[in-house]
Structure 1
Amino acid sequence: MEVINGIVMDRKNGTQELPTSFYENTDFVNTWYLMGSPLPVTLILASYLLFVLKIGPALMKNREPLKLQNVIQFYNAIQVVVSCFLLYVCVRMMAENGLLPKTCVMETEYNRRSLTAAMYYYLVAKLSELLDTIFFVLRKKYNQVSFLHVYHHTLMVVVTWTALKYEPTYALLFLGMLNSFVHVIMYTYYGLSSIPSLTKYLWWKKYITSMQLIQFVLILTHFLVACVTSDCKPSYIMIVSMSVNVFLFLYLFGSFYIKTYNKTASAKAEHNKQIKMNNEAKNNLYEMDKKLYQNGKNDKIDDDKDYTTASITVNDTYRIRFNMKTNKLAKN
């Protein structure tokens, strides 16, 4: 064992482990609202799942969907402000300690207080984001209440609360910073899309999903590098759970991107192809009509005979032309 700044550092197999005293010195977290016991957060999540999966749809079954336009605009504006605040908090702390500090940032009281406060703000933000799904249910947009959406919102609350309670680590700060940045963009889009007159100008929805996918790759890369380079490595449980969930999110968000945007692109390409074929068919008919007219003008008509030229359209591409022979009208 080695003592650094009065704190015992345990070494096992030549590696330096995060000292338990760091976590013991964050016991003040237990006095914060919702942090003393897992019961309050468990009840919140249970109520959330029960409402969005059972009670909400049953309640709205025979009712018209609620508009909630003003409520949603206000909610999205608040989420943008909250995400900007979280981004500022994370950037400020990373500016003070670096992106990948080698030393144990949590060994000082100031950093312990700063990091746990940032994680607590993040937890409150994740709890408030549960309203996303509730609004979908009240507006009867059940297609938005997917497994990906519900799982993502639920898991973020569970992971954030657990990490803050049992293992607050600086390696998670990059996650909070990057996720807050993405949420600034995302909730700005949602807020603007709730204004009907602006909908046609919002062409960048699919790029939000692309940003989320890039976000997961960067988060996992940073976390694994931090685990290798830092003197205070996260526990193996955190490393495994973080890796598994990031890969799962990559799969779920990747599948959503392919199904939503590749399908849309294919449908649009097919639609454009059909329009092109229709235009070509119309051009062909126009050329045929010109030829029919010219042929009618060039046909030699006997003095005692009268011919009428006619055509029948079979479909958009083919037309049948024929001549009808009629007797010349008698002159009085």
Structure 2
Amino acid sequence: MLQHIQEFGSNVIKTFDELVAGIDPRIKDYPLMQSPVPMTGILLCYLFFIMYLGPRIMAKRSPFQLKEAMIIYNFLLVALSIFIVYEFLMSGWVTTYTWRCDAIDTSNSPQALRMVRVAWLFWFSKIIELMDTIFFVLRKKHSQITFLHIFHHSFMPWTWWWGVGYAPGGMGSFHAMVNCSVHVIMYFYYGLSAAGPRFQKYLWWKKYMTAIQLIQFVLVSLHATQYYFMESCNYQFPIIIHLVWIYGTLFFILFSNFWVQAYVKGKRLPKQDIKSHQNGSAVYTNGSSPLLRPLLWMTGIRTLSRALRY
């Protein structure tokens, strides 16, 4: 029995070493790219804080007033997102890419290395965006911390670490560029919203945020779909295309459902924090952190609507 356990452990370590050895050598010197362990540790600490430690710390405290910090944070992300979009464009998307089957340039040319850099920067921006949830915890906006919110903020940086490590560039980077384009608008909206009531008159376009998200998922899915109709494509990592297609299609369905419920049927949810887990939409109850109920949250429109509100 002990021998089998040791063999299993050895095989796991061998497989892990082989996976890490396959990382693009051009990106291995970037911070947090030597191994997935530090990145995984950061995400586990994030989950532990937002689901357990943070709510316990804040249970008997008044919410923090973080207006200035949030304004600075959101507008810095606007600037970062603009820079990332520009770098993606200049690294290939408006210079050498065809917008169809674009392979990863594995050379050490200046443009190829520029794409590697912006791919890493996009991934690192997802680590920065973990602050979204931390702000929710410190402000005691527990109803905003839904399963979809947590899943998106933890799943994206974990999967993109592997995407950046193996495939920094090529047609698989299209959704990253589109995502950052949407984030320019999204964090601009959040920045104005954080500035206070005097800016509310400038936020009349709130509902169009959902439309912008829908356009994003349509573009991403369509771009990935063309791969399946090509006679041949030399893109090196088709699994990236499969994951992008699944991600874009799934979230298009979920956001479409939200649009219909919120803006066609008018079933807008109240802004108050939920005090119970009715319909499985709340993550916390009275500052505690029960086990996630993903099946309920994934099927409830309330989950998605709260994921969209800041």
Q: Which deviates more, 118-127 or 219-228?
A: 219-228
- SS of match in other structure, 1:28: coil
Q: Which is worse superposed, 246-255 or 114-123? A: 246-255
Q: Of residues 241, 250, 253 in structure 2, which corresponds to 1:251?
A: 253
Aligned-pair distance for 1:198? Answer: 0.7
**Which of residues 80, 83, 86 in structure 2 aligns to 1:82?**
80
1:45 and 2:46 correspond? no
Is the contact between residue 261 and residue 268 of structure 2 (CA under 8 Å) also seen in structure 1? no
Deviates more, 1:215-224 or 1:42-51: 215-224
- AA at the equivalent of 2:204: W
- Alpha-carbon displacement from aligned partner over 1:201-254 (angstroms, at most 9, x marks no partner): 311111112111210111121123256546322434323322222222223333
Residue of structure 2 equivalent to 1:144:
144
Cα–Cα, structure 1 residues 67 and 255, in superposed 2: closer, same or farther, change >3 Å?
farther
Deviations 1:271-294, CA, capped at 9 Å, x for gaps: xxxxxxxxxxxxxxxxxxxxxxxx
CA contact (8 A) 1:97 1:105 kept: no
Q: Which residue is equivalent to 2:164?
A: 164
Residue 96, structure 1, aligned to residue 98, structure 2 = no
TM-score, normalising length: structure 2: 0.72
Q: For residue 102 of structure 1, report the CA deviation from its aligned partner.
A: 4.9
2:240 to 235, 238, 241: 238
CA distance in 1, matches of 2:268, 2:140: 28
Residue type of the alignment partner of 1:210: A
Identify if the C-alpha distance between structure 1 residues 258 and 49 changes in structure 2 by more than 3 Å, giving closer, same or farther: farther
Q: Where does residue 219 of structure 2 map in the other structure?
A: 218
Asked whether the equivalents of residues 73 and 191 of structure 1 are also in contact (C-alpha less than 8 Å), the reply is yes
Identity of aligned residues (%): 36
Shift of 1:90: 1.3
Separation in 1, partners of 2:268, 2:129: 33
2:59 is aligned to 61
CA contact (8 A) 1:83 1:184 kept: yes
Residue matched to 1:195: 195
| In 2: Cα distance, 1:25 partner to 1:159 partner | 14
What is the TM-score of this pair, normalised by structure 1? 0.68
User: What residue in structure 1 maps to residue 34 of structure 2?
Assistant: 36
In 1: Cα distance, 2:182 partner to 2:102 partner:
29
Residues 154-208 of structure 1 deviation map (CA, whole Å, 9 limit, x = unaligned)? 1220121111112334112321221111111111111011122112331111111
Q: Decide whether the 8 Å contact of 2:81 with 2:180 is kept in 1.
A: yes
Question: Aligned in 2, Cα 1:265/1:259: closer, same or farther, shift over 3 Å?
Answer: closer
Distance 1:146 1:259 in 2: 18
User: Does the 8 Å contact 2:102/2:235 carry over to 1?
Assistant: no
Higher relative contact order (CA 8 A, sep 6+): 2
Structure 2 CA distance for aligned equivalents of residues 137 and 103 of structure 1: 41
Query: 3-state SS of the aligned residue for 2:95?
Result: helix
Q: Is the 8 A contact 1:26 1:112 kept in 2?
A: no
**1:43-99: per-residue Cα shift (whole Å, max 9, x none)?**
110011111111111111111111100000010110010011011111222111134
Pick closer, same or farther for the CA change 1:70–1:112 going to 2, 3 Å.
same
| 1:86-140 deviation per Cα after TM superposition (whole angstroms, max 9, x unaligned) | 1111122211113425564515422431221111010111110010011011111
- Structure showing the higher strand proportion among its residues: 1
Which stretch of structure 1 is more off in the superposition, 120-129 or 199-208?
Answer: 199-208
Structure 2 unaligned segments of length 5 or more: list them: 1-20, 270-310
Contact 1:57 1:137 in 2 (8 A): yes
Q: CA RMSD in A?
A: 2.5
CA contact (8 A) 2:104 2:168 kept: no
The amino acid of 2:211's aligned partner reads S
Q: Distance in 1 between matches of 2:23 and 2:63?
A: 50
Aligned 8 A contact 1:106 1:169 in 2: yes
* Code of the aligned partner of 2:223: H
**Structure with the greater alpha carbon radius of gyration:** 1
1:88–1:140 Cα change, 3 Å? same
Number of positions where the alignment pairs a residue of Structure 1 with one of Structure 2? 246
Partner secondary structure for residue 205 of structure 1: coil
